[in-house]
Amino acid sequence: MIKLYFLSFLFLWCCVNLYSNSVDNITSKPVRFYTPSEYKSDAQVWSISKGEYDDVYFATNEGIVLYDGVRWEKYVTPSECIMRSVFYDEENKVAYSGGVNEFGYWKYDEYGNLQYTVLYENSPSAPTQEFWKIAKVPGSRLVYFESPLSLLVYDIVTGKITPLADDGMRFHFLFIVGEKVYVQQNNYLYRLDGYEKQMVTGQLENFYLVYMSLASDGRLRLFSSEKGTLLLDERGKIEKHISYETNMRITSMSRLGEDYLVGTGNTGFYRIDENGTVLSKVGEQMGLKNTVLSVGVNNKGDIWLGLNGGIMMIEESVKEESLLLDPKESIGYVYCAVDREEQLYVGTNKGLFCMNKEDKQTRFVLVPESKGQVWDLYHIGDEVVVAHNKGLFSVFNGTFREIKHSGVYTLVPVPSRPGYYISGNYVGLSLYEMEDGKLTFCNNISGYDDLVQNCVFDKDGNLWITHSRRGYMRLRFDNNYTSIVESEIYTVPTTLSKRAFMVKVGNDLIFMNNEGGVYKYNELNNTLQSDEYYATLLSTINRDILRIQAFDDRFWQINEDGVCLLQKNYNKVMVNAGLFARMKDQFIPKGFRKVIQLQDSIYAIGLENGLGIMNITALNGQSSMKKPHIRKAEIVGELENRLLSLEEGNLSIPAHINMVRLWLTALNRERQVEYRIVERGDKWENSSGGYIQLSYLRSGDFTLEIRSTNGYGIHSETSQVMLHIASPWYATTYAYIFYSLLVVVIVFLIYEVILIQTRRKEEKIRLNEERKRKEEMERYQLNCLQEELGNKNSKLMSITMLGVQNNTFLKKIKDAVSDIDTGQSPVIKQQVQRIVKDIERQLNDQSGWDNFAEHFNNTCNGFFDRLIEKHPKLTNSDLRLCAYIRLNLSTKEIASLMNVSSSSVEMAKYRLRKKLELDESVALPYYLTEVIATLKSFVND
């Protein structure tokens, strides 16, 4: 405990004795109350046990409740057993639970849910048994389950359950002390050695235990509910009996380090040290209005209280020793404070208040004549100097003395003139001097008549002022500080919010804005230039600033969410974020928030009607952040979510999943985490809801990295999870094998098609070549035939023409013979007549025609056969005429061959047309030629 008087006094409120009315008004740790609706179970909490990571198990009337540091879950057995006890076995990573007529154990499945295995069920005909206590010594295979009627021992290896000490005596207590198990039966206390009992003492008449421990000297210390504590010697004899000093009834106990955690049924909760000193108490005014049924501690060191009507947590793991000074009086918004030996002065918007630190009632009294707005307080000499909206005042021995009239915002010492001060006023600047231990007004300083809220001297004696419209101003005074002889305005890159800050660190004056800019004055070029050293040093806290202050190597940053402290120790930088966070709802308006230094390591912040006080030495022992752990993984669907299996740090995700949510545990107080997927080159993304969500996942194997962060560059170790995102069915190995086979088949089919097409082309080419050869052969044969036909036609024509010539010649001979005068000689006449008859007989001789017809029919490929087949009524004369017409003989030539006149030939042609039934538009030669053409087509086919 810090031995500074003021801090000792503040802690005295928390731990002086049990009767202090102020104990419930002040606490050193954040307290949180959870209602049954929040943890989703019955109000009565009978037992508490810490599990792995941040897990805490609670036994309620409706089942087992699990809190993993972020979320609440309730688990119910198939028989809906009423739970009385819970005990977590760290070695086997199972949680044993005992209830009404039943006990068993719970274990996480691959989906992050607890699954229950029943070990024992009481017979329906047997008396009701309620298992209130469970015990297991580390390294042992035996688990003890105690009810008032029996003590059952479960062997983890064999699974066998054995009753122990069935001697008719009721059991009252079962507990582990060190590595030994103790049980109370009536007036006797036994130590269990496996299945055997060894009596420790038989002197516990009407002394029913609630807790046991080992004293510092190794002796057993026994705690009863109402009859105090007993100290046993080595032989089990009562060496000392200590009664409780108050009328309290202990219902449950536990240990936190060397301290005892005591839950009562009538006076709340106590934390007591080894000597019996009450270190802290939580009672009705802190929300603890009913019986404490159970007490437990999680792995962080937070204290959990199972109540008759809910659950309460005291955040002992928070190393922020912040105290809430909450006066009963309405003192207004606190803007400043200063600590004196016996008094604490607080400046508010209602005036200056004083509290006597020896007064245990925490009463603030308004200093007479100080009503109004107090902007700042200073401890100068023996006085407290007050910057007030009415002027500058001092307080000494309760007297409120005016130093200067008209409003004053701030007061700074003049470095070059010890004992002199300059005030920043509502209008301009003023000079003050210490005389006889009192601050007195000297003069107003001419040359500047604007508002001054913040001003700082640099190492050269120049006064710098932040101006809301102009940026920064540097003022140089004359030797007597009566006027300003030089002023100059400096600007930095414009910020959106126009917030500008000045911080003095040793001899360095740093200029900052709320967008991350850090600057220093450069004398060589008379400008403000970026400063790399301080920009790097303050990079983790230099954003979203409402105000930044420096006290030696401690930098305080005030933002929307709370207060951040950066401490520099040689080359090591430590950042603590979220300070005073539990009080942020009571912060004064953001433009006036500031950290107040009361003593070297004691700081405060003004609140609405109160003051938050912190001892920062406790921050140096704050434990490092643990790396987060994935508790559950689920697919986020439109209708419902589906859990995924978690196996040895690997997570397999089906294909076509748009979003996966990973629920985390083992987080820091703010539940802030950063995560990224390494292979995608992702930047670290932030999440503060106790989970992270992965979206737009593509198939493949990836490494997911997760780490806790305080938001100011401080991180935990990184947890790695291997993600296997399955390929869609069309991109699986089997699909690729199928695709390969399909490609082979397609290639084969294409090959076959190409082969068939090639063969067809080759066959077509072959057929075309054969056709061409055949056509050429047919053409050759036709040509030969035509040539032969032409020869035959020529021969036929020659024969015909010869016949025509013969007939013509015979006719001429006949005509010549007929013209011979035969009247002179009958013999000559007779001879002439005989010659004429011979000529006539020769002209009408048909034997030549038959030979001609046969030769003509053969030469013209059955001309007569075709003609007769089509026109069977044609006579030989008609056929003869058709042959002559086919030979394209003239009428005269035909008449000569047929030995008729030309008119007879014309008449014969006319009659032939009738027989052939030709239309007038069809020429007879054309028709007869078509018959040959038909024959020619037939031959070609």
pLDDT digits (tens, 9 = 90+) for 205-215: 888 888 888 87
For residues 446-474, average pLDDT: 88
Q: How large is the average pLDDT for residues 331-339?
A: 92
CB atoms within 10 A of CB 180: 17
Give the pairing of strands 133-135 and 142-146.
antiparallel
Taking the CA atoms of 854, 858, 863 and 864 in sequence, report the sign of the dihedral they define: positive
The answer to whether the CB of 298 falls within 8 A of the CB of 304 is yes
Query: Closest Cα partner for 424 from 475, 500, 351?
Result: 475
Instruction: Name beta bridge partners: 512.
Output: 501, 518
Which tens digit of pLDDT belongs to each residue from 415-431? 989 999 999 999 999 99
Q: Counting every residue, how long is the chain?
A: 941
pLDDT tens-digit map of 798-816? 666 666 666 677 777 777 7
pLDDT in tens, 658-696: 788 888 888 877 788 888 888 887 788 888 888 888 887
Average pLDDT of every residue of the chain? 82
Higher per-residue pLDDT: 26 or 432? 432
| pLDDT above 90 for 468 | no
Question: What is the distance between the terminal CA atoms of the chain, rounded to a whole angstrom?
Answer: 128
Tokens of 283: 């009672």
Contact 632, 662 (CB under 8 A): yes
- Looking at residue 131, its pLDDT comes to 94
Backbone φ, ψ for residue 891 (5° rounding):
-60, -40
Lowest average pLDDT, out of 319-333, 520-534, 557-571, 760-774, goes to 319-333
Max mean pLDDT range (22-26, 70-74, 912-916): 70-74
Pick the range with the lowest mean pLDDT from 432-441, 718-727, 739-748, 845-854: 845-854
Q: What are phi and psi of 20, to 5 degrees?
A: -65, 130
Mean pLDDT over 820-834 rounds to 72
For 181-196, the pLDDT digits (tens) are: 998 888 888 888 888 8
Report the run of H or E that residue 488 belongs to, with start and end. strand 484-490
**Three-state SS at 554:** strand
Lowest mean pLDDT among 21-25, 472-476, 666-670, 847-851: 21-25
In the chain, % of residues over pLDDT 70: 86
| Overall average pLDDT of the 637-655 stretch | 78
Kindly indicate the confidence band of residue 439, based on its pLDDT and cuts at 50, 70 and 90. very high
pLDDT of residue 152: 92
Decide which of 441 and 167 is more confident.
441
Categorize the per-residue pLDDT at 34 as very low, low, confident or very high, splitting at 50, 70 and 90. Answer: very high
Q: What is the pLDDT of residue 235?
A: 81
Torsion sign, CA atoms 481, 484, 488, 491: positive
Q: Is residue 589 pLDDT above 90, yes or no?
A: no
Task: Return the ∠ at Cα 499 (arms to 497 and 505), rounded to 5°.
Answer: 155
Asked if residues 22 and 61 have their Cβ atoms less than 8 Å apart, the reply is no
Q: How far is C-alpha 223 from the chain's CA centre? A: 51
Span 873-908, pLDDT tens digits: 888 788 888 887 887 888 888 887 777 888 888 888
| Strand-strand pairing, 250-256 and 238-242 | unpaired
* pLDDT bracket for residue 333 (50, 70, 90): very high
CA distance 85 to 97: 6
- Listed in sequence order, the residues at least 6 apart from 295 whose beta carbon sits closer than 8 Å to its beta carbon are 48, 252, 253, 254, 261, 262, 263, 269, 303, 304, 305, 306
Taking 90 as the threshold, does the pLDDT of residue 118 lie above it? Answer: yes
In angstroms, the CA 531 to CA 520 distance is 6
| pLDDT tier at 24, thresholds 50, 70, 90 | very low
Question: Which pLDDT belongs to residue 367?
Answer: 92
Q: What is the DSSP string of 679-744?
A: GGTPPPEEE-SSEEEEES--SEEEEEEEEEB-SSS-B-PPEEEEEEEPPPGGGSHHHHHHHHHHHH
Confidence of residue 771 (pLDDT cuts 50, 70, 90): confident
Q: 């048994």: which residue's tokens?
A: 129
Residue 9: per-residue pLDDT: 29
What DSSP letter does each residue of 605-650 carry, written as one string?
EEEBTEEEEEEGGGGGGPPPPPPPEEEEEEE--SS--EE--EETTE
Tokens of 662: 């990973």
pLDDT reported for residue 848: 64
* DSSP state letter for 284: G
Q: What is the pLDDT of residue 939?
A: 40
Q: Are 693 and 633 in contact (CB under 8 A)?
A: no
Residue 783 CB coordination number (10 Å):
12
Given pLDDT bands bounded at 50, 70 and 90, which one contains residue 622?
low
Q: How confident is the model at residue 789 (pLDDT cuts 50, 70, 90)?
A: low
Which of 58-72, 231-245, 317-331 is most confident?
Answer: 58-72
User: What is the phi/psi pair of residue 399, to 5°?
Assistant: -95, 130
Angle at 130 between CA 125 and CA 132, to 5 degrees: 160
Q: Which regions of 533-628 does DSSP assign to beta strands (E)? A: 547-551, 554-559, 562-569, 572-579, 595-599, 602-607, 610-615
User: What was the pLDDT predicted at 712?
Assistant: 64
Mean pLDDT of all residues in 810-831: 72
Look at residue 799 in the predicted model and tell me its pLDDT.
Answer: 65
Q: Exposed, middle or buried by CB within 10 Å (0-12, 13-18, 19+), for 776?
A: exposed
As separate numbers, helices (DSSP H) first and strands (DSSP E) second, the chain gives: 11, 66
pLDDT tier at 17, thresholds 50, 70, 90: very low
Q: Which two tokens stand for residue 325?
A: 């000074």
Quick check: 13 pLDDT over 50? Answer: no
Phi then psi dihedrals of residue 900, to 5 deg: -130, 175
CA–CA separation, 845 and 71 (whole Å): 137
**Cβ–Cβ under 8 Å, residues 713 and 742:** no
Helix (H) or strand (E) holding 83: strand 83-89
pLDDT digits 0-9 by tens, 529-586: 888 888 888 777 766 778 888 888 788 888 776 788 888 776 677 787 778 877 778 8
pLDDT at 321: 53
pLDDT at 15: 32
Can you tell me which residue has the tokens 């740790």?
Answer: 29
Q: Which amino acid is at 919?
A: D
Give the Cβ contact number of residue 560 at 10 Å.
10
**SS3 sequence of 89-144:** ECCCCEEEEEEECEEEEEEECCCCCEEEEEEEECCCCCCCCECCEEECCCCCCEEE
Burial of residue 585 (CB within 10 Å: 0-12, 13-18, 19+) is exposed
Amino acid, res. 183: V
